[in-house]
Amino acid sequence: MAYATADELAARLTRDGVSSIPSGEVLSGLLEDAKDLIDGWCQRDFDDHPDDTVALDGNGLDEILLPVSPLRSVSAVSVDGTALTAAELAELEVLSHGCLRGYTWLRDARVVVICTWGYATPPEKVKRACLLLASRLHRHKGVREKAAQGLRSQSVEGVSISLDPQDMDRDLGLLLKPYRRRGACA
């Protein structure tokens, strides 16, 4: 699901001076294109992932890092098929960056975690970036059409519109930088 609504994009386009607002279907397509570009650049999504199953191997330490964030809650954990007790679950420290502490995770044991992670609603800066990028894609329709033919960026009216997830416009990059997955090339 896109990070903003078609109505919000229509309002943004009106503020930007666009006189002919396209159909809801076109607006939704622009928002989905913008979402895909944002997800690619940030190397993550901003969706809600309730009751997701994450499986990984134990590391022999008293903390383990899940490959998800933000980690909001953990409802069940099993190690080599044996579920942690309610008391063991209550002792776990769940950190938003995906770390679980308070249990010794046996080396090479199969750890399965049922957790809720991601965003119930996307962060405001991500939503703004989505609206800004979708608005640019609409105003410069030719760029969007050329993207289907392989174009990755184009400069229009002094603004560079990048369709390459590795190359984000400076203003959009500044909005999104705090949400970019660690380890992603800057």
pLDDT, tens only, 25-81: 999 999 998 998 899 888 899 999 999 999 999 999 999 999 999 999 999 999 999
Instruction: Tell me the H-state helices in the chain.
Output: 6-15, 24-42, 86-91, 124-139, 141-147, 170-176
Range of weakest confidence among 55-64, 111-120, 139-148, 167-176:
139-148
pLDDT band of residue 160 (cuts 50, 70, 90) is: low
Number of neighbouring beta carbons within 10 Å of residue 75: 11
Say yes or no to pLDDT of 7 above 50. yes
Nearest Cα neighbor of 115 from 78, 62, 61 is 78
From residue 174, alpha-carbon distances to 52, 72, 100, 126, 144 in Å are 30, 25, 30, 11, 23
Across the range 145-151, mean pLDDT stands at 54
Tokens in use for 145?
């059409």
Does the CA dihedral 10-13-17-19 come out positive or negative?
A: negative
Residue 167's pLDDT is 54
Residue 86's CB: how many other CB atoms inside 10 A? 8
- In the prediction, which pLDDT does 165 show? 46
Residue 161 clears pLDDT 70, i.e. is over it: no
pTM of the model: 0.76
Q: What is the pLDDT of residues 91-102, one digit of tens each?
A: 999 999 999 999
